[in-house]
Structure 1
Amino acid sequence: MRRRPAGCAGSVLLAAVLALAGCTGDDGKPSAGPSHASGTRSAPGPAPTSALDADPAKAPRDEAAARTLIDEVIAEPALFGPEAVEATPYESDPGRWSVLGDDCVWRQEPLPDDVLATLSRHFEVPPAAGKGAARLVAVVTVHRTAEEADWENAGMLEEMLRCPEQQLGADERLTDLISSASYYGDSANRYADDVLRESGDYRGAGAAPAPYAWMQMRLGQVTVSVSVRAGRGYDMTEAQDIGREAGVRMLRRVADALGRDGTGGESGEDTPGAEGAQGNGAEGNGR
């Protein structure tokens, strides 16, 4: 799982462009940009049409409503296939979330004011048929507004640029990370307001590198993400497919819960294959 306040871009549409060109200041050096926490932000660029035909009456406005929505949409083991089981611990502390520091090290911090609720669930696909165990994490976060959720994604794009190697724990690292992003209507994305992907190698203590994939999608004020730390015997395509399919199914649940008459716009389980193509040849999701 991953979260961090936004930095050099005010909207995912703008940030996706900066992610390709490099987010730089006048001197051409990377710019940290305005602080999300301080409230000193540049004006967001024009937002594309949303993938969600939202019903305003269904939008969560307080913590209780946000937690109810999360309970309805977050993955259970079956969403990852019949072999998946609950890991220990199964659910994270709902009062904290992961933040990537300036030193590219992940830490747990209290939720910021713009987040109504969040929850992470941990799963495992046990070793079988010559493959090692795969560790999976599903995360659903409900922001107060769609704009705040958009800022979260913009900040993640900045992270992808500045931290191609990240420290998860004392003996766990992510290396050789590459990423991509698409907004609604771009790169065959017709089901999410924004899609972020990242992939690379997961390196545990004394273990050989294994495929790592992370993907996050946003509909309005809600983000859903899935990370996959695959075991031996998995290739990157398999890791990406596991995360993509579960993520799109969670997104469909969000669309059904918040869309007018439960229609949820164009989001759906019939579209996961659209995520297969991307400019840098990789995609991902997770922590």
Structure 2
Amino acid sequence: MRYRDKVKVKSPQQIKYMREAGLVVAAMHDALREAAIPGITTGELDQIARKVIKEYDAHSNFLGYHGFPAVVCISRNEEIVHGIPGSTKLAEGDLVKFDCGAYVVREGKQWHGDAAFAKLIGGDEKASEKARQLDQLTKESLHAAIVSLAKGAKTLAAVGDAVEDTVALRAFDWGWEAGIIEEYVGHGIGNAMHESPDVYNYRVRGKLTTLKPGMVFAIEPMLTAGEADNHTLADGWTVVTDDNSWACQWEHTVAIMPSGVWVLTAHDGGASILEPAGLSPVALG
């Protein structure tokens, strides 16, 4: 969907509702990050995430979405996204991506949050150098995109520009270039998990959405340590790389605010992301 598609602008109160949902997602991340150790199954981790949603009196926006059977997507190693939790056990050195979502109901409407993080199981020292670099690069790409928006980017093209520039810089530093997944992109978010417009993780020619305060986007670069070609497994959900290279995903829900941004799915509102660039989140009381 291009810039001509209508983008829903949220009021300050509506952004506060989305912040509530974002904090539920942040709590899911906390619980999963702590529990994701060698030997635990992805199905057990899904149950942990369900408990967090229940504790916050929130709702899952993943469960039942087009038939998806869980509240979190857990994707290992060569799995890029949409991995279905089950009997698979995590092992030392795995690069695991946790994509979580939740919504709250306020004023009779749903308000959504969506974010993902990656973890090297057993700690960085148990992972290969390339896995560590891929994780670092994907996270850096997300942060670079958020900083670009916070600095006053005029259009959503800034996201793809930031991701490509970060990938190119690290390719120069490390001697290998990550693949950028183009089939799966970020999106607008609000009363539904997926709203207009698409948020591209690669450089796009032509005019994209002009940014205005009150717009909210889920920004989620997905990179690979090899080629970007991919396919979906027979389960109809799990997306894997064609060459079996490992993949990574990081994501946050970000609100465009007057003179900055507010990272709704980060406990600190994005302070740790923005401070290295001399910026601070623009939060509502």
Specify the TM-score bucket, using the shorter chain as the normaliser. 0.3 to 0.5
Which has the larger helix fraction? 2
With normalisation by structure 2, the TM-score equals 0.33
